[in-house]
C-alpha cells in the first residue's frame, strides 16, 4: 500500500552549519560530510592527536568552541583538543564504560575534563570519578525561535496555545534537563500572564500533535524542524536563539520572553541553568590548565559574547 495522499510532505532544507573545531582544517584536507541535523556535528577534533579530551553538555557549544580554540592556540603542545558536545546521558555512560559509539565508529577514551549541570557532576563525584567541580557560567533565560519575519506573528506564550501553531521542543526523555527548564519557564510565564498553566503543561505532555519533540540533540534538531516547516516556533535558551540568528540570519528571528533579551538579569519566571566543570581523575597533563582557563576572564568574555553569563 502506498503512502496516503493526505500525508504531509516537508521539503528538507538542510542547515549548513559552520565548522566547529579547536584546530582549523587546512587547505587540501579532505572532509566527508552528509547533510543532516546532526551528522557527527557534536564530536570535534582529532582523537588520535588530542592530548586534552573534554566531554560537555552541548547547548553552550558555541562558547566552548572559542575557549578550546584559544587554549589550543596558546598551548600548541596539546596537538589538538577532542571534545564532545552532546546531552550528558551518553557521555556519563561513556565515562562509566570507557567506550563511546558514534554510528559505526568506536572511541575508547576517557575525558580529562567533564562539563555539565551540577547534578550530573555530583554523580561523578559520588562515583569517585571526580573529586570536585566548580560553576563557571550560567544561562540568561529563554526565548522563542521563529522563522525570519515571524510569519505566524508569534509574540509570546499565549500564541503557543493557538491551535494553528506547531511547537518544537527538546525531548523529555533524552534531554530531561533542558525540557524541564523550558517547561518550567513557560508555565511560570503563563501564570504571570494570567493564563492556565495547567493547560500549557497538558500541551507538552506528549499527547498533542502540535508539539514535535527532538530525538536526541535539540540544539541541532530544533532549528532544522523550523527550517523544514515542521514547526512554527521553538522554546530554546536565549544563547541558542542568539546563535541561530547569528549564523542563519536569513532564516530565523528571536522573540523575547519576560523582558528584553538584552537584559543580563532575565525575569524571575525564567529557569536558569548553571554550568560546572571538573577534572576526571587527575585530568592528565592538560586538564588542570584548561579548568583554570575556564574559570578566568578570557573564557568568561567568550561566554558573555555568546549570550551567557560568566560567574565570578
Residue-wise pLDDT tens digits, 143-198? 999 999 999 999 999 999 999 999 999 999 999 999 999 999 999 999 999 999 99
Residues 124 and 76 in one domain: yes
Residue 253: which of 166, 153, 179 has the closest Cα? Answer: 153
Report the helix count and the strand count for the chain, using DSSP H and E.
10, 14
Residues 249 and 180 in one domain: yes
Residues 221 and 289 in one domain: no
Cα distances from 191 to residues 165, 186, 207, in angstroms, run 20, 9, 22
pLDDT at 34 over 90: no
Q: How many domains does the chain have?
A: 2
Q: Which of residues 123 and 10 earns the better pLDDT score? A: 123
Q: What's residue 106's pLDDT?
A: 86
Specify the residue for cell string 519566571.
269
Q: What's residue 7's pLDDT?
A: 40
- Name the percent of the chain lying above pLDDT 70: 90
pLDDT at 263 over 80: no
Kindly state the cell numbers that stand for 256: 523575547
Residue 194 lies in a domain: yes
Phi-psi label, residue 272: left if phi above 0, alpha if psi -120 to 50, beta otherwise: beta
Residues 192 and 127 in one domain: no
Task: Compute how many other C-beta atoms are within 10 angstroms of the C-beta atom of residue 137.
Answer: 27
Residue 29 lies in a domain: no
Task: Give the domain extent around 81.
Answer: 43-138+273-310
- Interval 22-46 mean pLDDT: 69
pLDDT at 5 over 60: no
Q: What's residue 59's pLDDT?
A: 97
Phi-psi label, residue 129: left if phi above 0, alpha if psi -120 to 50, beta otherwise: alpha
Residues 246 and 159 in one domain: yes
Please state the pTM of the whole predicted model.
0.89
pLDDT at 290 over 50: yes
Residue 21 lies in a domain: no
pLDDT at 264 over 60: no
Residue 209 lies in a domain: yes
Residue 250 lies in a domain: yes
Residue 107: which of 130, 128, 91, 85 has the closest Cα? Answer: 91
Q: Which of residues 217 and 27 earns the better pLDDT score? A: 217
- Interval 108-137 mean pLDDT: 96
Q: How many CA atoms lie within 13 Å of 45's alpha carbon, on the beta-carbon side?
A: 24
Q: What's residue 259's pLDDT?
A: 57
When mean pLDDT is compared across 92-101, 134-143, 226-235, the lowest value belongs to: 92-101
Task: Compute how many other C-beta atoms are within 10 angstroms of the C-beta atom of residue 63.
Answer: 23
Q: Which of residues 274 and 98 earns the better pLDDT score? A: 274
Residue 77 is given by DSSP the state: G
Specify the residue for cell string 530525538.
215
- Name the percent of the chain lying above pLDDT 90: 76
In residues, how long is the chain? 312
Distance between CA atoms of 275 and 181, rounded to whole angstroms?
14
Kindly state the cell numbers that stand for 28: 587540501
CATH number of the domain that 168 lies in?
3.40.190.10
Return all residues near 246 (Cβ < 8 A) that are at least 6 apart. none
Distance between CA atoms of 172 and 235, rounded to whole angstroms?
13
Amino acid at each position: 500500500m502506498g503512502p496516503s495522499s493526505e500525508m504531509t510532505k516537508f521539503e528538507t532544507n538542510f542547515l549548513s552549519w559552520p565548522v566547529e573545531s579547536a584546530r582549523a582544517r587546512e587547505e587540501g584536507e579532505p572532509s566527508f560530510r552528509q547533510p543532516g541535523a546532526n551528522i557527527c556535528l557534536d564530536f570535534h577534533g582529532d582523537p588520535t592527536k588530542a592530548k586534552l579530551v573534554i566531554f560537555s553538555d552541548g547547548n553552550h557549544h558555541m562558547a566552548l568552541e572559542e575557549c578550546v580554540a584559544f587554549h589550543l592556540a596558546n598551548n600548541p603542545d596539546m596537538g589538538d583538543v577532542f571534545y564532545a558536545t552532546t546531552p550528558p546521558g551518553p557521555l556519563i555512560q561513556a565515562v562509566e564504560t570507557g567506550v563511546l559509539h558514534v554510528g559505526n565508529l568506536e572511541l575508547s577514551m576517557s575525558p580529562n575534563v567533564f562539563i555539565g549541570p551540577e547534578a550530573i557532576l555530583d554523580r561523578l563525584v559520588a562515583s569517585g570519578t571526580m573529586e570536585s567541580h566548580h560553576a563557571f557560567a550560567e544561562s540568561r533565560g529563554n526565548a522563542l525561535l521563529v522563522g525570519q519575519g515571524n510569519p505566524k506573528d508569534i509574540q509570546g506564550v499565549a500564541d503557543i496555545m493557538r491551535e494553528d501553531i506547531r511547537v518544537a521542543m527538546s525531548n523529555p526523555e533524552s534531554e530531561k534537563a533542558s525540557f524541564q527548564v523550558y517547561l518550567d519557564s513557560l508555565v511560570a510565564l503563563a501564570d504571570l500572564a494570567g493564563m492556565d498553566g495547567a493547560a500549557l503543561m497538558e500541551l507538552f505532555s506528549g499527547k498533542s500533535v502540535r508539539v514535535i519533540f527532538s530525538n536526541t540533540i535539540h540544539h541541532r534538531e530544533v532549528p532544522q524542524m523550523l527550517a523544514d516547516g515542521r514547526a512554527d516556533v521553538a522554546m530554546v535558551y536565549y544563547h541558542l536563539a542568539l546563535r541561530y540568528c547569528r549564523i542563519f540570519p536569513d532564516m530565523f528571528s528571536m522573540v523575547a520572553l519576560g523582558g528584553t533579551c538584552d537584559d543580563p538579569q532575565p525575569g524571575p519566571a525564567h529557569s536558569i541553568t548553571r554550568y560546572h566543570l571538573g577534572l576526571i581523575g587527575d585530568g592528565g597533563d592538560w586538564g588542570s590548565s584548561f579548568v583554570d582557563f575556564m574559570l578566568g576572564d578570557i573564557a568568561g568574555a567568550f561566554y558573555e559574547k555568546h549570550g551567557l553569563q560568566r560567574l565570578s
